[in-house]
Amino acid sequence: MIQTLLSFGHGYSARALSRMLIPHGWRIIGTTRSADKAKTLINAGTEPLIWPGTDMKDALHDATHLLISAGPDEAGDPVLTALRDQIVNAAPHIEWAGYLSTTGVYGDHQGRWVDETTPLTPSTRRGQYRVDAERAWQTLAAETGLPLHIFRLAGIYGPGRGPFAKVRDGTARRIIKPGQVFSRIHVEDIAQVLSASIMRPDPGAIYNLCDDDPAPPQDVIGYAAELLGQPVPPAQNYETAEMTPMARSFYAESKKVRNDRIKTDLGVTLKFPTYRDGLQALLDGDE
């Protein structure tokens, strides 16, 4: 049987995983809402399905692996809401299922460390939606034996998603909030963790995906400017800086996220263990 990954919400991280799997003979089926994006997926070797709008019965029948990246909202997880019964029927032949969540489920810890055993105390609605979605998938797995793995992703960056463009055009800002730290993960490291989990399934496992160096956001912008030989953007106080509600909400939580489990359980060695490694690689690749 051909190893077939059915990827719901086939976005940035899922595409990076596909680039690792396709050379090894995998069949990738990815859902998208857009006909234009479907064309892009075809060019990358992925079979696109417009969803919602396409019957997923055949795709679920063919799938050996599931990846769920589609984000939940107040109505719950969109994949479970629409396809729960079909997934129940498919569960017996699924070898691995991955749900991409977020470290936002931990909430605010005032800069302290968290790991996969830390209680989930989200402080935003988006974080609570993710907690609810995780639990819904865990309930389904308990009922059906679906081999579910949960991946809690820190802030994602990579090609096309780095700070260099804003530094170059002068729109980058160094927002200063004392004690604020974020964890990050390069998209290629997300892909290699997912691939390692696929090769070493451990149903029920939960993994934090982040690098080794949680850091204040202003340090990242400053380093990007240094790499470009540009002036470091001036500091702005968080309390008085003009920000969208969405941008401000990211500063509501400060924590350092431990990643020991991806190393000890999956044998992963990060390609980009710090943002400095990642940014240098992006620059060398002429992001």
In the predicted structure, residue 287 carries a pLDDT above the cut 70: no
Q: Rounded to whole angstroms, how far apart are CA atoms 62 and 28?
A: 11
Q: In this structure, are residues 283 and 225 in contact, taking their beta carbons and an 8 Å threshold?
A: no
pLDDT in tens, 173-225: 999 999 999 999 999 999 999 999 999 999 999 999 999 999 999 999 999 99
Q: What percent of the chain has pLDDT over 90?
A: 90
Closest CA to 6 of 23, 42, 31, 37: 31
Give whole-number Cα distances, 202 to 19, 36, 149, 192, 237, in Å.
23, 36, 7, 16, 45
pLDDT in tens, 29-73: 999 998 889 999 999 999 999 999 999 999 999 999 999 999 999
Give the HSE-up count for residue 47: Cα atoms under 13 Å, Cβ half-sphere: 13
The DSSP element (H or E) to which 224 belongs, if any, is helix 217-228
275 CA to centre of own chain: 16
Give whole-number Cα distances, 175 to 161, 202, 216, 218, in Å.
18, 40, 9, 6
pLDDT in tens, 227-243: 999 999 989 999 999 88
Q: What is the pLDDT confidence band of residue 285, given thresholds at 50, 70 and 90?
A: confident
Provide the token pair at 180.
């604020």
pLDDT for the residue 121: 97
Q: Which domains does the chain have, with CATH numbers?
A: 4-158+185-212+257-271 (3.40.50.720)
